[in-house]
Amino acid sequence: MVEPRQKFSLFTGVSGAASTPITPRPQAFEQLGVIGCGLMGGSLALAMKRAGLVRRVVGYSKSPSTTQRALQMGVIDVEAPSALLAVSGADVVVIAVPVGAMGATFKSIRHLVSDKTLLIDVGSTKQDVVLAAKAALGRNASTFVPCHPIAGSEMSGVESARADLYAGKQVILTPTEETSVAHLERARSLWQALGCQVSLMSPKAHDDAYAAVSHLPHLIAFAYMQGLLGQAEHAALLGLAGSGFADFTRIAASEPKLWRDVLLANKTALLEQSRHFQRALHQLEVLLNTDNGAELQKTIAQASAARSAWKPQNSK
């Protein structure tokens, strides 16, 4: 029988992220099922192994060569021939696939998800993933704790996986009223045992916030590179680029399919943030066109001060 669900307050505003208290170190899980043995899923497996939080890791990836490479690297202990069989016998399962593939993944594993299975993800959007879990898992969606580790890299693939990827990073959990409180606590203690700072937000508050601070910067980086590539002399321009270009465009090298799915999944909030950006860019263009150096300097100074004052959460 599924454990009774306890209602709790979920924040609805962007400012509503709340850090959660330290919880006791969890007992080691018997078996981790990894669906998607790439950077994120592979790094979680390595981190849990290093911390002594899991005894056995079974992994599945859509590409057999990825799963084989994960086995060779010691990321997983056993290859599963399907997502469903990666869940078989697992007491914790991480779904580390592009958010556009979440719905199909939930459907493929639903017959082996029980009320005792802790199911987590590492996706960058949450409202769409929560809806997909509810649609596929029904009552057992209570076992799913949506997670977004604020970690990663423009690199992808299991070759880039590392045990310290999540250490010291934020992890946002976005439970709903259907989420099992016991599973929420298990997920929270798991991430904290890996050295993460755990916060809670509602799925909508999460997506609204990360449209501003993650999804829009990626969209701008992609658009900027396209603007360069559309110029006949782009090769010569790239040959002249330096560290400023490298810093600004690093995320433009991100995995295309993953980011296609993220941008489409959160398009409403993203387009709203894009409009804010376009208005700010237009204002700068007006200052340039009118040779208004005083206001241009003032605008740059405001941006510079805000950026200088910002520190990543894990550095506070």
Reference 165, options 298, 299, 49; nearest CA is: 49
Amino acid of residue 78: V
What distance in Å separates the CA atoms of residue 78 and residue 58, rounded to the nearest whole number? 5
Is the same domain home to 218 and 295?
yes
> Domain end: 160, 186, 202, which one?
202
Is the same domain home to 216 and 284?
yes
pLDDT (tens digit per residue) in 68-98: 999 999 999 999 999 999 999 999 999 999 9
Is the same domain home to 169 and 233?
no
What distance in Å separates the CA atoms of residue 276 and residue 161, rounded to the nearest whole number? 35
Is the same domain home to 157 and 244?
no
Is the same domain home to 193 and 214?
no
**Cβ 225 vs Cβ 200: under 8 Å:** no
> Domain end: 202, 221, 250, which one?
202
> If you average pLDDT over residues 50-59, what whole number do you get?
96
Is the same domain home to 131 and 260?
no
- Please state the pTM of the whole predicted model: 0.88
Residue whose token pair is 């237009």: 282
Is the same domain home to 218 and 305?
yes
pLDDT of residue 20: 56
CATH at residue 292: 1.10.3660.10
> If you average pLDDT over residues 295-303, what whole number do you get?
98
**Structural domain of 224:** 206-315
CATH at residue 66: 3.40.50.720
Tell me how many domains the chain contains.
2
**Cβ 151 vs Cβ 125: under 8 Å:** no
**Cβ 156 vs Cβ 255: under 8 Å:** yes
pLDDT at 11 over 80: no
> Domain end: 180, 202, 224, which one?
202
What distance in Å separates the CA atoms of residue 270 and residue 216, rounded to the nearest whole number? 6
Residue of 17 and 288 predicted with greater confidence:
288
Is the same domain home to 169 and 270?
no
Is the same domain home to 103 and 236?
no
